Structure 1
């Protein structure tokens, strides 16, 4: 079914993107302050799309040369999803909260210029080694397990998850601030992430 790779990509991408981090905190901060939200959100979405495509294309080229990598990617992807589900479940038991102060640089009481805001979010994205592990390596390997054309549908699902997440975080920041400031909200979110990742792992093994 064509819908399965899209949903798998959406669930995997959203679960990885939604983790607490400096990038999300900065987008939330800009949204609450209503400062240059559009360019900041656009940088996050475009960066994720480029990294996801790089991962999918790279693993696609590898698997075309060595078909056995598809089996390895499927098993490795399922293992990753199960491990990630365990980590999400642990976070649900000991929830944290996302606050604006997490990404507030010195002098944050002043307005941030558009260029400074874009450069900051770009640095938080491209200089973070975890982003390459999450998007290029992990999402790339999970996409490769879908085969052709499933891996590209997987990429579309992951890119849509990024678009929706950062749009909601940036443009809906004022309404979401109280939600993200409550550890109980993250307990629910991480609990859902754990269930989704575990379900995707089982589906990947049976697919």
Structure 2
């Protein structure tokens, strides 16, 4: 295998290892995939955001971020507030199973609301910057002139994951045909969002 392909494979492996975890983005993509609701839009937002951030990291923006702790602190608190609200909304859905599925009139979450939620869960989450810009960017720099192959591999990992999660979620739809399953999912999302919010608040306080 050529050095360029080895760099791309390393980027693919690291990208997948960072993204395949329960988090704000994945929870939203999974839920929209299960509901078959604005899946393409959510996947596009998450994927394009990852590509932009990975590109910035490979280009060297990670070093600039680490030199601006005040910016990181502000983003941490803003992200914590948003994730806490999103977690509380998920908890309310879990406690009100009648609201988990579309109602009798076929009401669905609007495209604008869904897209704005995906944007916020991505760009207000400092973990995304730490993973894509700082960590991936730092490791990419070790590949010198092949760092863009490394970045391409990481971007491919994001594409494989988000497309697979968003459109593969329908395979789990028989399980989620029961309101109880949605209650469990939303309860799990609520716990994850609140834990992430607390961890971001702690990080922000430590950096202030």
Common topology (TM > 0.5): yes
The answer for the alignment partner of 2:137 in structure 1 is 140
The answer for the alignment partner of 1:168 in structure 2 is 164
Q: Cα distance, 1:59 vs. partner?
A: 5.8
Q: Give ranges in structure 1 of 5+ residues lacking alignment.
A: 63-100, 179-207
The answer for the alignment partner of 1:128 in structure 2 is 125
Q: Cα distance, 1:103 vs. partner?
A: 8.1
What does 1:31-180 align with in structure 2 at a 5 Å threshold?
A: 31-58=33-60, 104=90, 106=93, 108-110=100-102, 111-148=108-145, 150-176=146-172
Q: Cα distance, 1:143 vs. partner?
A: 0.3
Measure, in 1, the Cα distance between the counterparts of 2:169 and 2:63: 39
Measure, in 2, the Cα distance between the counterparts of 1:103 and 1:32: 18
- For the residue of structure 1 that corresponds to 2:144, the secondary structure is coil
Q: Given the superposition, is the C-alpha separation of residues 155 and 43 from structure 1 closer, same or farther in structure 2, using an over 3 Å criterion?
A: same
RMSD over aligned Cα atoms:
2.6
| Number of aligned positions between the proteins | 140
Measure, in 2, the Cα distance between the counterparts of 1:102 and 1:27: 18
CA offsets per residue over residues 63-99 of structure 1, 9 Å max, x none? xxxxxxxxxxxxxxxxxxxxxxxxxxxxxxxxxxxxx
Is 2:56–2:62's contact at 8 Å kept on the other side of the alignment?
no
Is 1:25–1:103's contact at 8 Å kept on the other side of the alignment?
no
Q: Cα distance, 1:109 vs. partner?
A: 3.7
Is 1:22–1:103's contact at 8 Å kept on the other side of the alignment?
no
CA offsets per residue over residues 172-194 of structure 1, 9 Å max, x none? 1122576xxxxxxxxxxxxxxxx
Q: Given the superposition, is the C-alpha separation of residues 102 and 52 from structure 1 closer, same or farther in structure 2, using an over 3 Å criterion?
A: farther
Q: Which runs of 4+ in 1 moved over 3 A?
A: 59-62, 101-110
